Every structure is written in structure tokens, then in C-alpha cells.
Structure 1
Amino acid sequence: MFLSTYEGKIDDKNRISIPASFRNVLDYKATKEIYAYSSFINECIEVCTFERISKLQNFLDGMDIFSGKRDAIATAVLADCEPMQPDSKGRVSLPERLVNLVGVNKKLLFVGKGVTFEIWDKEKFNSYYQKARAMAKETSLLQKRADAGQ
């Protein structure tokens, strides 16, 4: 799994170096290709393996093929998806379209989220992190209250 948070930089040609621990996950999964797309939950770039894309496709296959919701999900993720192959040092070039869409500046963070990882502008993530912690705490408190009431 992709775990933890790592600092990184993006150069003038939109190249980044994937953190070593994330490269180890890719090596373990024996995958050379990763997929990047703009998250439709957060203002960041989400990255995953083909395994995750395949699960998404299986989910879409279970929906009505003429459904507007199915089409929206396919468009929002699959049509936005950019395949990338890290070089021997774990570097990839992010598509300019994705960099501009999410507003990644020079300093960025790689944020592990289990089966995916995200690439954030450092300042944007620091702001989001505080909101996420508060939401997680509130959710935890609500669950404890619900459990106590049973």
C-alpha cells in the first residue's frame, strides 16, 4: 500500500521523482505503468496502478451502459487518465494539463492513501489536512456515540 507523506519538487518540464517507498510498492506489484488523473474529491492529482483502473472499469460494467451517471464517471476518470511509465530512477513527467488543472506549484507532497497516492501542491495540502483531521475526529466521535446508544 501507498502510505505516509513525502515532500517533492516539480521541475520546469513537469518532471517529478516518485518517493522510493512508493516505487517499492510498484516493484512489489510488478507494474511499470501508473495512471494519473485529476481527483474529483480533492484539488490534486490522483495516481494508481492498472489494478485500480480495472476495478473502476468493473464497477462501470455493472451500471446501465446508457446511464448518465456511468458516462459521467467514465468521463471524469477514464477520459482524464494519463498513463505514465517511471524511468529507472522513478521519474515521470506529469502532463501539463493535469498540473494546470490542479494548480501544482514547485513544492509538492506525495500523499499515500492505500491503493492510490495523490500529488498535492504543498500549501493546498497543508490547508486540506487540517480540515480532514477535524472531519475524521468528528466522524470518530459520531461513531462512538452511535455505538454507545446501541
Structure 2
Amino acid sequence: MALFLSTTINKLDKKGRISLPANFRAVLNDKQAQSIVLFKSPVHECLEGFDPIFVEEISGRLDDGFDMFSTEQDDLATALFGEAVQLSLDETGRMVLPELLVSHAGLDGEAAFIGLGKKFQIWNPEKLQERRNSARSNVKSKGLTLPVQRERGGND
């Protein structure tokens, strides 16, 4: 499975044009995706990025996790999808970020792309460093780790 990994800082021009990192484009190619979906993070001052197929999975989880017309389902759908944009990349891997998203993430001249596995985020580089420091501190103080996978077999 191709994953979004690593961190890259790219230039953002005055018109909102920016290049998706080459290793992120390779993930999209592996998934046969021609575009990305971006939306405002509901928890951070950054943008959340996904391939369109994974966004369909998110939508399905939203439908499965809540009653269709519940306030909670509506609130989360509004927060996630209400201002989401699907962006195509040009032949050089560039896209144009809408001003609404640029201002939400506080982007000005540069943007940091950080791969987080099935998704990626776009940050103001200085804010990303603060976030990384906070994440490392939380991991250490809370002793966060991955659960051990049990081997399958026998009587499972």
C-alpha cells in the first residue's frame, strides 16, 4: 500500500499555486488518482489532504457512524465536506489552493506538506514545527504506542 510519508516545504506563489511533493504524486499515481481533496482540519490550523477514494471511505464511515439526519452527523459532515475542494494537478504537479484554505492554514509564501500515512496535511512551516513538538511531547508523556497485533490462526 502506498502511503504519504515525510515532510517537504514548497513555495506558494501569490496566486495560490504550489507543487504537490513528488513522493505524494507517486502515491496518487499508485492509487490511479488524478486529483486530491483538501479540507480545513477540524482540529488544527492546517489543511487535510486525501485521495478521492479515501474521501469516499470517510463519507461511508460518517454514514455508518451516525443516524443520517442526526445533528452530530450533520455537524461533522458540514465541518469536513462543507468547504472541501477537489483539486486537479497540472502536468508538473502544481495545483491552485483557494484563498479560503490558504487563510485557514496561515500560509504565506511557503507551505509544509507532512505525510501521515493515508492522509497528509499542509501547514504553515512554523506552526508545523510547533505541532511536531507538541505531538512528540504527547507521545512521550502519555506513553503512546501502537497496539500489538495478535497472530491469527488456530481457534480465531
Q: Same fold (TM over 0.5)?
A: yes
Task: Select the residue among 121, 128, 137 that pairs with 1:134.
Answer: 137
In the alignment, which of 95, 98, 102 is matched to residue 95 of structure 1? Answer: 98
Structure 1 spans left out of the alignment, 5+ residues = 144-150
Separation in structure 2 between the aligned mates of residue 19 and residue 101 of structure 1, nearest angstrom: 21
Aligned-residue Cα RMSD (Å) equals 1.5
By how many angstroms is 1:139 displaced? Answer: 2.5
Q: Distance in 1 between matches of 2:144 and 2:40?
A: 31
1:123 to 126, 141, 146: 126
Aligned twin of 2:152: none
From 27, 30, 38, the equivalent of 2:29 is 27
Are 1:80 and 2:79 counterparts?
Answer: no
Structure-2 separation of matches of 1:46 and 1:60: 16
Contiguous gaps of at least 5 residues in structure 2: 147-156
TM-score, normalised to structure 1's length?
0.90
Paired residues in the alignment total 143
Query: In the alignment, what sits opposite 1:146?
Result: none
> Equivalent residue of 2:104, what SS?
helix
1:58 to 34, 57, 60: 60
Amino acid at match of 2:69: F
Q: Could you give the per-residue CA deviations for residues 81-133 of structure 1, whole angstroms, max 9, x where no partner exists?
A: 10100111110000111111221111221000111111100111111111111
Q: Which has the higher helix share?
A: 1
User: What is the DSSP-based 3-state SS (H/G/I as helix, E as strand, rest coil) of the residue aligned with 1:25?
Assistant: helix
Instruction: Give the superposition deviation at 1:42.
Output: 1.3
Mapped contact 2:105–2:122 kept (Cα < 8 A): no
Query: How many Å apart are 1:17 and its aligned residue?
Result: 0.4
Distance, in Å, in 1 between the alignment partners of 2:92 and 2:44 is: 28
Where does residue 49 of structure 2 map in the other structure?
Answer: 47
- Give, in whole Å, the separation in 1 of the partners of 2:52 and 2:15: 25
Q: Point out 4+ residue stretches in structure 1 off by more than 3 angstroms.
A: none
Quick one: percent identity of the two aligned structures?
A: 36
Shift in alpha-carbon separation, 1:65–1:104, aligned structure 2, 3 A:
same
Deviations 1:129-150 (A, max 9, x none): 111110011232699xxxxxxx
